[in-house]
Every structure is written in structure tokens, then in C-alpha cells.
Amino acid sequence: ALLDLTGPSEMEGVWKGAAVLPCTYVPVKDFVQQTLTWTVVHDQSSGTIFRRDASGDHVLLSEYRDRVEVPKNLPGNVSLHILKLEISDRGTYTCQVTWTASNNSLIAKEISNKVEVVKVAVTKPTIRAGALGLMVPAGARSSLTCVAHGSPPISYRWFRAAPGGTALLLSSQAELAWDSLQPSDAGTYYCEAENR
């Protein structure tokens, strides 16, 4: 295909994160990019976010000022970079490029991308308990592994319950391992998982 824009028709971005709205083409000899515009249609409003032409780059919608850019010196890459996504940024974004041919005729192409902005749920770690009452022969290699689900990063600690209700910290890893189990290793062990 001669001078076609490519990019996804829909995508998700994360609130307060950065997003790249892809829009690319394969440069063709004798066709010179004249203008690039990025427009958006929101629930309430619409307008031109960004325009690149012979006079330079212009950010035209105030709510995007200092938050958007298009790479320079990457022929064929006219993707829109948005910093610090807001929930109000969700909408349909359209990339439109015009080129002039050597005979001065104009060619225009456009593609649209529906963008959704999601908040990532922050969750406490949860551990599903394994089977209680593990029987292991003396002298065997064995290990206990703790697996928690929740927002990363998650740190782990293994304890052994001691008489009088005190706890001995044995490991700061998700796995507690023994090379050769002894009768003295019998007891109650528990894992603690923590995140921010």
C-alpha cells in the first residue's frame, strides 16, 4: 500500500501514566510530509491538540500544553506521546497527515484510535493457605513457598512459632528451604506478605 497510516483502532492507558498513540507510515520517495494534525473528540468537546507544519510544532488545546509531543527526526513516525494521562483524556484521537507529490498534488490520510483511561486498582496482598500438617521424612530436602497476589512489589518473611507465642524470623524470601530436615525442625511455620 502506498502511503498508508498504521496504528491501533483502540487502546488503554493508565491514569497518571504516559501513553504513546501510534501513528506511522513508510516514507515514499517524491512524497513530502506537509502537515500533521492530531485531533480529539471527547464526551463534551473536540478540537485540534497538535499541529506540525512548515512553521513548526503547535499545541493548540490548553489542557494538553506541556503534556504532548511528537518525535522529531523519525521519518514516518508521527505518534502522539501524552504524559500524565487524565481520566478526561479518554476519547477518540485522529491522526491526519498530508503529503505533496512531485507534481504538487496533495494526498491526505487519517486513522482514528479510541483511547480508554483506566485506574489500576491497588490491592493488599492475599495468601491462599496451603494444606496444613505436612509430613516429611527426616533427612529429606524440602521447602515451603509463599505466593501472594496483590499490587507489586510484595516482600515476604517466613517465621517459626516458638514457645510463649514468640516468633523467629527465618527468611526474607518467598521460599523457605531445608537441605536435610531434622526432627528438631518440626513445628509451626507461617509466612507474612507485605506491600506498600
Q: Where are the domains of the chain?
A: 5-118, 126-195
Judge if 5-118 and 126-195 fold alike in CATH terms.
yes
Q: Which three cell numbers stand for residue 154?
A: 510484595
Question: Is 16 in contact with 84 (CB distance < 8 Å)?
Answer: yes
Q: What is the pLDDT of residues 9-57, one digit of tens each?
A: 999 998 888 999 999 999 999 999 999 999 999 987 899 999 999 999 9
Q: What CATH architecture does domain 5-118 belong to?
A: Sandwich (2.60)
pLDDT at 166 (0 to 100):
87
Q: What is the pLDDT of residues 78-100, one digit of tens each?
A: 999 999 999 999 999 999 999 99
Question: Is 10 in contact with 111 (CB distance < 8 Å)?
Answer: no
pLDDT at 116 (0 to 100):
95
* Chain mean position to CA 66: 21
Q: What CATH architecture does domain 126-195 belong to?
A: Sandwich (2.60)
Query: With 80 as the cut, is the pLDDT of residue 1 above it?
Result: no
